[in-house]
């Protein structure tokens, strides 16, 4: 058996997220079916983490156990011939048995794309179309409050298996080109809906619905736990890279 590492890109609009689901089309399902067809046996892949339904990836990582040796360049080519147009395998390589696509992760980088307009057909499904008031300097100031080590329990969903809500966000960068705003997050890991809730809350501040103190109160937990109600849509979120 060989352990193979792969990276892929996908447009998540037509998928119910990365993770395999019963009776629903996911990215993991789709890649596994293609690999199983090529190897003529059931193949299971393990991703670096979940992405939500409708979320995209520039560079998602995964690994799988290959039952027999194949030329990896040819395997990459064969996979891309089989897979639908909205999934692309960047490349495959062998890794040590100790490697795990999820548990070996050191950092993750995400992007969130916002288009400041009331209608933009070419970004439909791949960015958050945001036609509301937007104070750019205030938006950046709000996002800076999230940098560092914090308990993000108010900015994630309540998962049954989630007991530790502390994460470190190393950096948040914001770039604006015309009406397109791209926010880049780098951290040691992110929980479900964390980035979408952070972006949505920062937009609430930028549109003067909330004050900066609203963020501080939820990070410092001066109130009883209450998950923020400003969740940005999945269509603007991209897994940009995974670092090992």
- Of the pLDDT bands very low, low, confident and very high (cuts 50, 70, 90), residue 236 is very high
Active centre residues (catalytic): 52
Among 63, 94, 125, residue at a domain's last position: 94
Q: Based on the structure, what is the number of domains in the chain?
A: 2
| 3 state SS for the chain | CEEEEEEEEECHHHCCCCCCECCECCHHHHHHHHHHHHHCCCCCEEECCCCCCCCEEEEEEEEEEECCCCCHHHHHHHHHHHCCCCEEEEEEEECCCCCCCCCCCCEEEEEEEEECCCCCHHHECCEEECCCCCCHHHHHHHHHCCCEEEECHHHCCCCCCCCCCEEEEEEEEEEEECCEEEEEEEECCCCCCHHHHHHHHHHHHHCCCCCHHHHHHHHHCCCCCCCCCCCCCHHHEEEEEEEC
Q: Are residues 58 and 119 in the same domain?
A: no
Query: What pLDDT sits at residue 161?
Result: 54
User: Over the stretch 51-101, which tens digit does the pLDDT of each residue have?
Assistant: 999 999 999 999 999 999 999 999 999 999 999 999 999 999 999 999 999
Kindly state whether residue 100 falls inside one of the protein's structural domains. Answer: no
Domain with residue 147: its CATH number is: 3.30.70.660
Mean pLDDT of 141-148: 98
pLDDT at 211 over 80: yes
Domain with residue 48: its CATH number is: 3.30.70.580
Q: Are residues 136 and 205 in the same domain?
A: yes
User: What range does the domain containing 47 cover?
Assistant: 2-94
């Amino acid at each position: 058996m060989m352990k193979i590492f792969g990276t892929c890109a996908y447009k998540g609009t037509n998928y119910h997220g990365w993770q395999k689901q019963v009776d629903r089309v996911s990215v993991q399902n789709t890649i596994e079916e293609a690999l199983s067809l090529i190897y003529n046996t059931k193949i299971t892949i393990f991703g670096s983490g979940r992405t939500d339904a409708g979320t995209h990836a520039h560079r998602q990582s995964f690994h799988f156990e290959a039952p027999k040796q194949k030329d990896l360049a040819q395997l990459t080519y064969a996979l891309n011939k089989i897979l639908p147009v909205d999934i692309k395998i960047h490349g495959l390589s062998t890794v040590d048995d100790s490697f795990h696509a999820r548990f070996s992760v050191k950092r993750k980088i995400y992007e969130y794309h916002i288009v400041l307009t009331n209608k933009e057909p070419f970004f439909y499904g791949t960015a958050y179309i945001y036609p509301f008031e937007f104070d750019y300097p205030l938006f950046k100031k709000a996002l800076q409050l999230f940098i560092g080590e914090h308990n993000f329990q108010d900015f994630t969903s309540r998962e049954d298996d989630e007991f530790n809500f502390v994460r470190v966000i190393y950096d948040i960068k914001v770039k604006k080109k015309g009406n397109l705003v791209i926010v880049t997050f780098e951290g040691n890991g992110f929980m479900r809906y964390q980035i979408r809730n952070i972006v949505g809350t920062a937009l609430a501040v930028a549109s003067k619905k909330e004050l900066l103190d609203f963020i501080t109160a939820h990070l410092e937990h001066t109130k009883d736990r209450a998950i923020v109600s400003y969740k940005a849509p999945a269509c603007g979120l991209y897994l940009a890279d995974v670092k090992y």
